[in-house]
Structure formats: C-alpha cells, structure tokens
Amino acid sequence: MKTLETIQKVFNVFRIITIIASIICTVAAVLSGLGALCAAVQYHGGTVLHIFGEPFDLFADGTDLLQKYVYLLSVTFMLIAEAILLKLTHSYLKSERADGTPFTYNGAERLKKLGVRFIWIPIAAIAVSDAVAAWQGVDVTVANFGGVVTGIVLILVSVIFRYGAELEKSSGM
C-alpha cells in the first residue's frame, strides 16, 4: 500500500504543477496574442500605445512586422493548445486522486484518451498556424514533437494501468 500512497502523492504534486503551468500558459497566450495584435496594427500603419501624447512603436524599425505578427499568432495558438492539454491533464489527475488508484479500467481509458489528445491537439494548432502563415505568405515554422511523444507515452502507461486493474480484479481486491 505504501507504493500506492506514493503514487497518489506524486499525482497530487503533478496536479498542482498542471494548475500553475495552465495559468502561466493562459497568461502567456494572452500576452502573445496582444503582441500579435500590436504587430498587425503597426504593420498597417496604426499605433497601439501613446506615451505622453506621442505614438510608441513596440517593435523596432526594420522589424518584419508581418513575420512577427504571424509568428506571435502561431505561438498564441500553441500556448492555447498547451493550456487546454494542461486543463485536461489536471482533470485526469483530479479524478485519479478521487478514485484512490490509477489502476482502474475507467482511469486507464481516460489516460488513453488524454494521450490521443496530446497527439492531435498540437497537430491541429500547428495546422492552423501553418494555414495562417500560408494565407499571409509568410514562412513560419512552429513544431511540437513533444506532444506526440508525450501522447504515445500516456497511451503506453494506460496499457500498464489497465493491466494493473486486471491484476487487482483477478486478485479479488
């Protein structure tokens, strides 16, 4: 039982980390989105900020504002995807903590679904980013292979948790 208690403590620490990381990703997405908006406004000749009545340009002269705009927008999409994944991870960890063990059929199924989401959500964000870049005629590359690897690992761990659930059931616990 001591090992199961350790697993639950680790899950709780990860749950807290996902809350903090989700907040950081959300704030970063908002700031990145605002930066993209500022770059787009400045690209079209407008100004966003005035200091003491004088226009203030956020980006230095000579900056490719269209490139910066598309890049910041792509980063915003990726941060939103990461925030979504962190919220889903938090939800999974919270339910596992309530179950008292990760070795349940429902828990293994939820973990497998989370793994699949770790694969397709970043790919969707990259596809949207690439579509915006192509639409604007800018070459911006944003990649997230970590999401695919994490998804595969989560799917494999779900198989282990399902096996643990089968062992618990067969032992009559």
Q: What is the pLDDT of residues 17-29, one digit of tens each?
A: 999 999 999 999 9
- Residue 1, pLDDT score: 60
Q: Which helix (H) or strand (E) holds 55?
A: strand 54-56
Q: Which residues of 110-127 are buried (b: 16+ CB within 10 A; e: fewer)?
A: bbbebbebbbebbeebbe
pLDDT band at residue 13 using 50, 70 and 90 as cut-offs: very high
- Residue 30, pLDDT score: 96
- pTM here is 0.84
Indicate the angle between helix axes 65-99 and 2-43, nearest 10 degrees.
160
Give the C-alpha separation, 100 to 77, whole Å.
35
